[in-house]
Amino acid sequence: MAKIKKMIKSIKVDADKCNGCRSCEIICSSYHATPKYNSVNPARSRIQVIRDQMRNIWVPVFAGEYTPSECMGRESYIIDGKEYSECTFCRASCPARDRFKEPDSGLPLRCDMCEDQGPGEKPLCVQWCYNDVLIYEEREEEVEEDEAKLGNMETSLESLVDKFGLQKLVDTVVRMSQKD
Ligand code: SF4
Ligand code: SF4
């Protein structure tokens, strides 16, 4: 099978520097609003800052894959004397909690690294974080052609759902499939 080069984007999180200002949540939710930049609702953000002011805990977490079932157990981690539940670091949109769900539709949210940002352009949450917590990196990797196409298709579908809503998208696909 043919291999092609694909740009892989990633963001490292230096959580020690985070002060919980939530600028990252604000810009992400505003960018993904319909119309774009028309409203701000951090519940729509693809990055969410886990906050526990009393214990001085601020952990920015990016929305990852959707999972239809929750885990069987709950581990905990002690890092620098602070105890964290396993769920703190989990990126999944899962049935056990409200995190990473679109507040109106309940659809899972996933970070798209700001889908139409060009190469070298930093994702918006990285640009808006003035404490250098979020460190953006790009690298090229060889992947199967089909795998790259599937990834692009998922991102395009997600942005169409963002733009028009799931129901409108489903109606359009049904209408198209009925044409000869
Ligand atoms: S913008 Fe940066 S410092 Fe502010 S909450 Fe987000 S990651 Fe933390
Ligand atoms: S990279 Fe873009 S889509 Fe992902 S959390 Fe940051 S602002 Fe949101």
* Alpha helices (H) in the chain, listed in sequence order: 23-31, 86-89, 124-128, 145-164, 166-178
Residue 152: band (very low, low, confident or very high) from pLDDT cuts 50, 70, 90: low
Lowest mean pLDDT among 19-28, 45-54, 137-146, 164-173: 164-173
Rounded Cα distance between 83 and 79, Å, is 6
Q: 123 C-alpha vs ligand 1 centroid, how far in Å? A: 13
In the predicted structure, residue 122 carries a pLDDT above the cut 90: yes
- Residue 154 structure tokens: 């998922």
- DSSP letter string, 117-138: PPTTPPPHHHHH-TTS-EEEEE
Q: 151 C-alpha vs ligand 2 centroid, how far in Å? A: 17
81: left (phi over 0), alpha (psi -120 to 50) or beta: left
* Average model confidence (pLDDT) across the chain: 86
Using an 8 Å Cβ cutoff, are 77 and 87 in contact? no
> Between the ranges 92-96, 119-123, 148-152, where is the mean pLDDT highest?
92-96
Nearest C-alpha to atom 8 of ligand 2 is from which residue? Answer: 28
Residue entry with tokens 């044409």: 179
**Ligand 1 pocket list (CB less than 6 A):** 18-24, 49, 58, 60, 128-129, 131, 133-134
What's residue 179's pLDDT? 62
**Residue-wise pLDDT tens digits, 16-52:** 999 999 999 999 999 999 899 999 999 999 999 998 8
Answer whether 0.85 is exceeded by the pTM. no
Domain of 60 in residue numbering reads as 3-178
How many distinct structural domains can be found in the chain? 1
Q: Name residue 141's beta-bridge partners.
A: 6
Distance spanning both ends of the chain, measured CA to CA: 32
